């Protein structure tokens, strides 16, 4: 039996950030950058990733002004926080941020004042579930 690709709606924690392109199914934009479906030549399931580079700790449009520190293994603070998604609400995001920041401060990867600013920014940022 031949596999059939299905049209599935965009979903997940990033979905609210993407805007659908009118009259172009499965096409979206994010801050003016277009995203479109593609075929990779097989009928095997495919997962596509892209690498982000975020020099500062930013939640939504709220910039803490704090550098996004990486652990020794290269994992930035924001990636570690986002690994806990899907968050049930802003308080869950802030709790994850607080725990992650505390670990970074304890490890000497982030100063206490910068950690406080990052947590405050997460707590005050707009949140779309």
Residue 64 has pLDDT above 90, yes or no: yes
Q: Which long-range contacts (CB under 8 A, 24 or more apart) does 112-120 make?
A: 114/64, 114/66, 114/67, 115/66, 117/64, 117/65, 117/66, 118/57, 118/64, 118/66, 118/77, 119/94, 120/64
Q: Find the largest Cα–Cα distance for the chain.
A: 60
In the predicted model, what is the mean pLDDT of the chain? 82
pLDDT-based confidence at 3, cuts 50/70/90?
very low
Residue 61 has pLDDT above 70, yes or no: yes
The answer to whether the CB of 39 falls within 8 A of the CB of 26 is no
Q: What is the pLDDT of residue 6?
A: 44
Which range of 11-15, 78-82, 123-127 scores highest in mean pLDDT? It is 78-82
The answer to whether the CB of 24 falls within 8 A of the CB of 10 is no
Calpha distance 128→99 (Å, rounded): 21
Overall average pLDDT of the 45-65 stretch: 79
Q: What is the pLDDT of residue 1?
A: 36
pLDDT-based confidence at 27, cuts 50/70/90?
confident
Calpha distance 96→118 (Å, rounded): 12
**Quick one: tokens of 29?**
């934009």
pTM of the model: 0.61
pLDDT-based confidence at 109, cuts 50/70/90?
very high
């Amino acid at each position: 039996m031949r596999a059939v690709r299905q049209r599935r709606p965009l979903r997940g924690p990033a979905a609210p950030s993407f805007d659908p392109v009118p009259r172009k199914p499965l096409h979206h934009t994010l801050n003016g950058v277009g995203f479109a479906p593609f075929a990779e030549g097989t009928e095997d399931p495919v997962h596509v990733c892209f690498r982000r580079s975020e020099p500062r700790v930013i939640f939504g449009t709220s910039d803490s002004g704090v550098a996004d520190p990486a652990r020794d293994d290269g994992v930035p603070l924001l990636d570690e926080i986002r690994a806990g998604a899907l968050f049930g609400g802003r308080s869950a995001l802030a709790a994850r941020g607080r725990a992650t920041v505390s670990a970074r401060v304890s490890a000497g990867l982030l100063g206490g004042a910068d950690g406080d600013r990052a947590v405050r920014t997460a707590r005050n940022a707009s949140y779309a579930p």
